[in-house]
């Protein structure tokens, strides 16, 4: 007999007096406003046309050593021949410190580890900006933090322009013409089609950042018109929203000429072999990004050198990037903060609240090597409950019973009000940083509406009564509630990412707070990649997770706001029969998100997000935990860091600051390059050809 047997229908019939009392009781309360905390610098708002254009320039330049060592030696074509017909040109007026000079390195420190280089095949490069620097996407959104609100639309990138058909169902995009991969092979619509047909549409492949066909709308098709033209056909009319999905990380094609021969459709490989065909030791994987991996030492470092075929220039015709090298020290995320503050690293997104006080103290000193600037409260954590009851992740009996609890509103409410959010936030850091987060859209962001936010404050007693009402009582007297009718102890596993102290601290906090409620929550703490795999495959009951950009910007990652497709949600995906067993309020969430995607009317969109927020928070779609600001820490020697660059908004700061335009003035350049005067794949680099 299933000892977890859990018939909530039955429990409903046995409703005790206490539950009636709780239901009559209003569990909602006044949501305190977040403590005042001003962002420390504001962007200068501009139009996209102020930032960049595409055009041919009369002459082009490159670092002198590239000309003398490679071009003059005949191993590399002249720069003008390496650039596309009309390169992307960054405008000087939008560069905070103007035209840059070549040289130096940005020394990143990261907590992740590269699984390999097959990004579109689903391999992680270790995060922290490695993949952002290697991959270029059809459009770009990171820099949108400084674009005027009424002109908000993704920046062109690999797609340099586009137009809609009259009925709005077709979108024709023009790709940059004559651009090349870092090995000199042409970039064409063939790369785009390989990504789409053999990676997105092929359900055996899961591109790293979760692109699925539904990310671009149900029934959407894509075709190549010619080498530099692609055509999208949408069921909806003018769904401009999908332009955001064509940015990082859901539409960044890989090098088809290298990847295709390994793909099962064109080889004898299995999908697993395809995914793993480019291990971290494989050097010089062709990229469209500004830097190429040329050295890898396990648990030590990834070194990247400038891409000699990079297709972006400044107005003087200097080929970008200005920085010759990028380092990624393979350490921990906490060490990234420490090193950036101390000056042995150059960059950090200060995002683990536990490090705030120390980092602030050190950075305030005049001699501090790095500047630290706080932005808005765009880092948030929730407790996500696995809402699939039809087989996603193949739950055993115990897990299935938990899934059924997760799907019960009284249960979710009970968990929510058993969490003391103030205490949880304070346990990370005291002071005006953290704010009570009831879930849903973040306070302080464009679509947030307090009046549409339902808040269930901490109320342990009522939480207990709600669980009693569900028939979850401690029948064997061991302090843990049992499933109804003499069932087993209620045991729930909680997934969290050990790469971040904050994730595990919050998860431990939740576990501790469930104890007085009589629920045994068992830590399932996993290192990043394993955590990702368990999440992707649905093997979790609960998950404490840092939230994505969809809750900050709404327009980026929109499809993830609800289970709009079989694989778009982080905690509710299709079960064994391929369908998502949506709860009624989730179906409403899906309709709301789809309606948002289908309209570009600003007033309508604002109303739809109010509905979304109401449905989300009223139904405790997830249990919001805490929300706080992050700070960008960057060494003072770097120039061209835009004012008000947030660590996280449409994308992470590694994209937002437009690293290919960042430079170090000559008098501040340090001796940081590990492979000076080398190019990827060229003699003298570790990945020598
Ligand atoms: C990790 C880090 C973030 C950011 C991203 C970039 O998630 O925690 O701060 O660097 O990588 O992908």
| Atom 4 in ligand 1: residue holding the nearest Cα | 128
Please choose, from the candidates 563, 478, 546, the residue with its C-alpha nearest in 3D space to the C-alpha of residue 507: 546
On whether residue 3 sits in a domain, the answer given is no
Q: What angle do CA 233, 236, 241 make, to 5 degrees?
A: 90
Atom 10 in ligand 1: residue holding the nearest Cα: 128
Distance 38 CA to ligand 1 centre (A): 23
The CB of 196 under 6 Å from ligand 1? The reply is no
Split into its structural domains, the chain has a count of 2
Residues 410 and 366 in one domain: no
254 and 120 Cβ atoms separated by less than 8 Å = yes
What is the whole-number distance in angstroms between the Cα of residue 648 and the centre of ligand 1?
9
Q: Tell whether ligand 1 has an atom less than 6 A from the beta carbon of residue 499.
A: no
Number of Cβ within 10 Å of residue 576's Cβ equals 11
Do 171 and 54 lie in one domain? The reply is yes
- Say how many Å lie between the first and final Cα of the chain, rounded: 65
Regarding whether 447 and 409 lie in a shared domain, the answer is: yes
| Separation CA 217–CA 15 (nearest Å) | 43
Nearest CA to ligand 1 atom 6: 128
Q: Which of 29-43, 394-408, 549-563 has the lowest mean pLDDT?
A: 29-43
Ligand 1 mean position to 129 CA, how many Å?
7
Residue 501 Cα to ligand 1 midpoint, Å, equals 14
Question: Residue 38 — very low, low, confident or very high, per pLDDT cuts 50/70/90?
Answer: confident
Calculate how far, in angstroms, residue 566's C-alpha sits from the geometric centre of ligand 1.
Answer: 26
509: Cβ contacts below 8 Å, ≥ 6 apart:
423, 424, 427
Q: Identify which of 325, 163, 154 has the alpha carbon closest to the alpha carbon of residue 676.
A: 325
Check: CB of residue 633 under 8 Å from CB of residue 340.
yes
Question: Is the predicted pLDDT of residue 675 greater than 90, yes or no?
Answer: yes
Tell me if residue 483 falls in helix, strand or coil.
Answer: coil
Classify residue 579: in a domain, yes or no: yes
**Mean of all residue pLDDT scores within the chain:** 95
Cα(112)–Cα(207) distance, rounded to whole angstroms?
18
The answer on 74 and 203 residing in a single domain is yes
Contact assessment for residue 555 and residue 243, using Cβ atoms and an 8 Å cutoff:
no
What is the rounded CA–CA span in Å between residue 324 and residue 345? Answer: 16
Residue 684 near residue 416 (C-beta atoms within 8 A): no
Contact 609, 253 (CB under 8 A): no
Domain boundary among 598, 628, 658: 628
In angstroms, what is the span from residue 554 Cα to ligand 1's centroid?
A: 19
**Nearest of 545, 520, 521 to residue 531 by alpha carbon:** 545
Ligand 1 contact via 652 beta carbon (within 6 Å): yes
The CB-side HSE value for 387 (13 A sphere, CA atoms) comes to: 29
Nearest CA to ligand 1 atom 9: 349
> CB–CB of 245/251 below 8 Å?
yes
For residue 500, how far is its CA from the centre of ligand 1 (angstroms)?
Answer: 11
Question: In terms of domains, do 550 and 621 share one?
Answer: yes
CB 437 within 8 A of CB 421: yes
- The residue whose CB lies within 8 Å of the most ligand 1 atoms, and thus the one to mutate among 106, 124, 129, is 129
For residue 626, report the distance from its CA to the centre of ligand 1, in Å.
18
Q: Furthest-apart CA pair in the chain: how many Å?
A: 88
Tell the residue nearest (CA) to atom 11 of ligand 1: 128
Residue 205 DSSP code: -
Q: Evaluate if residue 130 carries a pLDDT over 50.
A: yes
Predicted pLDDT at 18: 55
Q: Is the CB of 248 under 6 A from ligand 1?
A: no
Q: Kind of pairing, strands 170-175 and 159-164?
A: antiparallel
pLDDT beyond 90 at 12:
no
Give a yes or no: residue 337 inside a domain: yes
CATH number of the domain residue 414 falls in: 3.10.105.10
Residue 201 included in any domain: yes
Alpha carbon nearest to ligand 1 atom 8, residue: 128
Question: CA 658: distance to chain centroid?
Answer: 17
* pLDDT classification of 40: cutoffs 50, 70, 90: confident
Determine the distance separating the centroid of ligand 1 and the alpha carbon of 476, expressed in angstroms.
46
Is residue 24 pLDDT above 80, yes or no? Answer: no
Q: How far is the CA of 252 from the centre of ligand 1 (A)?
A: 17
Does residue 676 sit within a domain?
no
Q: Which long-range contacts (CB under 8 A, 24 or more apart) does 79-84 make?
A: 79/319, 82/180, 82/184, 82/308, 82/309, 82/319, 83/178, 83/179, 83/309, 83/311, 83/313, 83/319, 84/176, 84/177, 84/178, 84/179, 84/180, 84/311
349 lines ligand 1 (CB under 6 A): yes
pLDDT in tens, 235-280: 999 999 999 999 999 999 999 999 999 999 999 999 999 999 999 9
Q: Give yes or no: residues 305 and 424 share one domain.
A: no
Q: Tell me the CA–centroid distance for residue 405 and ligand 1, in Å.
A: 33
Which value, in Å, is the radius of gyration of the alpha carbons in the chain? 26
Distances (CA, A) of 321 to 29, 212, 236, 306: 52, 32, 39, 7
From the alpha carbon of 349, which atom of ligand 1 is closest?
Answer: 9
- Co-location of 527 and 600 in the same domain: yes
Give per-residue pLDDT as tens, 146-192.
Answer: 999 999 999 999 999 999 999 999 999 999 999 999 999 999 999 99
User: How many Å apart are CA 430 and CA 379, to the nearest integer?
Assistant: 16
- Residue 215 confidence (pLDDT): 94
Q: pLDDT tens digits, residue range 477-498?
A: 999 999 999 899 999 999 999 9
| Interval 519-533 mean pLDDT | 96
Tell whether 100 and 226 lie within a shared domain.
Answer: yes
Closest residue by Cα to atom 1, ligand 1, is 128
DSSP 8-state symbol, 471: T
Q: Give every CB contact of residue 624 below 8 A, 6+ residues apart in sequence.
A: 380, 382, 416, 421, 437, 438, 439, 440, 617
- Range name among 85-89, 323-327, 646-650, 681-685 with the lowest pLDDT average: 681-685
Name the DSSP letter for residue 46.
B
Contact in structure between 52 and 91 (CB atoms under 8 Å): yes
328 in ligand 1 pocket by Cβ < 6 Å?
A: no
Q: If you average pLDDT over residues 206-224, what whole number do you get?
A: 94
Ligand 1 pocket residue status of 191, Cβ below 6 Å? no
User: What span, in angstroms and rounded, lies between the C-alpha atoms of 476 and 569?
Assistant: 37
Nearest residue CA, atom 3 of ligand 1? 128
Question: Is the shortest distance between the CB of 128 and ligand 1 below 6 Å?
Answer: yes
- Report the residue count for the chain: 689
Give 419 Cα–ligand 1 centroid separation in angstroms.
Answer: 27
- 333 shares its domain with 400: no
Of 628, 644, 679, the position where a domain reaches its end is 628
How many Å lie between the centroid of ligand 1 and the Cα of residue 369?
A: 22
**Are 638 and 618 contained in the same domain?**
no
Query: Measured in angstroms, how far is the CA atom of residue 27 from the centroid of ligand 1?
Result: 37
Q: Coil, strand or helix: which one is 325?
A: strand
Residues 501 and 572 in one domain: yes
Q: What is the mean pLDDT of residues 193-212?
A: 95
Q: Where residue 681 falls among pLDDT bands split at 50, 70, 90?
A: confident
**Residue of 632, 652, 653, 657 to mutate, ligand 1, most atoms within 8 A of C-beta:** 652
What pLDDT sits at residue 644? 94
What CATH code is carried by the domain that includes residue 355?
3.40.190.10
d(CA 406, CA 122): 29
Residue 127 CB–ligand 1 contact under 6 Å:
yes
129 touches ligand 1 (CB under 6 Å) = yes
Q: Is residue 123 part of a domain?
A: yes
pTM of the model: 0.95
Mutate to test the pocket of ligand 1, among 132, 654, 657, 659 (most ligand atoms within 8 A of CB): 654
- Tokens 């390059």 — which residue? 673
For the Cβ of 351 lying below 6 angstroms from any atom of ligand 1, the answer is: yes
| Nearest residue by C-alpha to atom 2 in ligand 1 | 128
Q: Is 333 in the pocket of ligand 1 (CB under 6 A)?
A: yes
Residue for token pair 């299935």? 400
Residue 411 shares a structural domain with residue 433: yes
- Give me the pLDDT at residue 687, please: 45
* Nearest to 244, CA basis, from 363, 393, 139: 139
Range of the domain at 325: 48-374+632-668
Distances (CA, A) of 647 to 245, 536, 544, 650, 651: 20, 25, 21, 10, 8
Residue 36 lies in a domain: no
> Is 80 exceeded by the pLDDT of residue 348?
yes
25 assigned to some structural domain: no
Which tokens go with 476? 């064997």
From the CA of 131, give the closest atom in ligand 1.
12
Our mutation pick for probing the ligand 1 site, out of 334, 345, 349, counting the most ligand atoms within 8 A of Cβ, is: 349
Give, using CA atoms, the residue closest to atom 5 of ligand 1. 128
Q: Which of 340, 438, 402 is nearest to 647 (CA)?
A: 340
Q: How far is the centre of ligand 1, averaged over its atoms, from the C-alpha of 652 (Å)?
A: 7
């Amino acid at each position: 007999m299933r000892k977890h047997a859990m018939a909530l229908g039955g429990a409903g019939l046995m409703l005790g007096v206490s539950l009636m009392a709780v239901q009559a009781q209003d569990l909602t309360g006044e949501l305190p406003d977040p403590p005042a905390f001003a962002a420390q610098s504001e962007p200068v708002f501009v139009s996209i046309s102020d930032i960049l254009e595409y055009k041919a320039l009369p002459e082009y330049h490159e670092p002198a050593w590239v000309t003398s060592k490679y071009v003059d030696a005949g191993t590399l074509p002249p720069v003008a021949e390496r650039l596309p017909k009309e390169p992307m040109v960054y405008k000087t007026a939008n560069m905070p410190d103007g035209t840059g000079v070549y040289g130096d390195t940005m020394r990143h420190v990261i907590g992740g580890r590269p699984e390999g280089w097959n990004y579109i095949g689903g391999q992680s490069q270790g995060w922290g900006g490695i993949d952002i620097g290697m991959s270029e996407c059809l459009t770009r959104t990171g820099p949108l933090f400084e674009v005027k609100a009424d002109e908000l639309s993704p920046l062109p990138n690999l797609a340099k322009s586009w137009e809609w058909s009259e009925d709005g169902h077709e979108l024709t995009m023009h790709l940059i013409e004559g651009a090349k991969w870092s090995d000199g092979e042409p970039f064409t619509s063939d790369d785009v089609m390989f990504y789409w047909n053999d990676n997105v549409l092929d359900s055996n492949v899961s591109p790293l950042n979760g692109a699925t066909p539904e990310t671009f709308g149900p029934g959407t098709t894509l075709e190549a018109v010619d080498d530099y033209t692609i055509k999208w056909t949408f069921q909806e009319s003018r769904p401009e929203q999908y332009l955001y999905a064509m940015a990082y990380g859901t539409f960044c094609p890989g090098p088809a000429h290298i990847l295709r021969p390994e793909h099962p459709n064109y080889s004898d490989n299995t999908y697993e072999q395809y995914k793993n065909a480019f291990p971290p030791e494989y050097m010089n994987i062709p990229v469209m990004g500004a830097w190429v991996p040329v050295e890898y030492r396990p648990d030590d470092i990834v070194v990247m050198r400038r891409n000699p075929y990079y297709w972006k220039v400044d107005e003087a015709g200097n080929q970008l990037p200005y920085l010759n090298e990028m380092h990624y020290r393979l350490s921990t995320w906490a060490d990234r903060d420490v090193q950036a503050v101390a000056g042995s690293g150059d960059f950090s997104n200060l995002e683990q609240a536990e490090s705030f006080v120390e980092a602030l103290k050190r950075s305030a000193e005049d001699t501090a090597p790095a500047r630290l600037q706080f932005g808005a409260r765009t880092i948030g954590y929730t407790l996500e409950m696995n809402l699939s009851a039809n087989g996603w992740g193949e739950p055993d009996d115990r897990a299935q019973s938990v899934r059924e609890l997760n799907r019960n509103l009284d249960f979710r409410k009970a968990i929510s009000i058993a969490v003391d959010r103030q205490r949880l936030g304070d346990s990370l850091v005291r002071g005006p940083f953290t704010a009570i987060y009831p879930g849903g859209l973040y306070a302080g962001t464009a679509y947030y509406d307090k009046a549409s936010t339902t808040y269930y404050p901490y109320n342990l007693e009522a939480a207990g009564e709600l669980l009693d009402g569900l028939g979850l009582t401690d029948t064997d007297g061991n302090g843990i509630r049992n499933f109804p009718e003499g069932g087993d102890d209620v045991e729930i596993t909680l997934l969290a990412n050990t790469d971040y102290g904050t994730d595990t601290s919050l998860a431990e906090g939740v576990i501790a707070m469930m104890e007085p409620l009589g629920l045994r929550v068992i830590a399932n703490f996993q290192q990043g990649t394993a955590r990702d795999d368990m999440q992707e495959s649905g093997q979790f009951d609960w998950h404490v997770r840092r939230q994505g950009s969809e809750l900050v910007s709404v327009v980026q990652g929109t499809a993830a706001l609800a289970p709009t497709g079989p694989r778009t949600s982080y905690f509710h995906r299709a079960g064994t029969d391929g369908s998502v067993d949506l709860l009624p309020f989730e179906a409403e969430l899906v309709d709301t998100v789809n309606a948002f995607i289908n309209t570009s009317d600003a007033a309508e969109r604002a109303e739809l997000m109010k509905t979304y927020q109401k449905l989300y928070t009223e139904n405790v779609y997830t249990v919001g935990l805490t929300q706080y600001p992050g700070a960008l820490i960057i060494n003072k020697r770097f120039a061209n860091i835009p004012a008000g660059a947030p660590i996280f908004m449409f994308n992470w700061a590694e994209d937002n600051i437009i690293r290919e335009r960042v430079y170090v003035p000559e008098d501040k350049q340090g001796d940081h390059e590990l492979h000076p005067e080398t190019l990827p794949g060229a003699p003298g680099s570790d990945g020598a050809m």
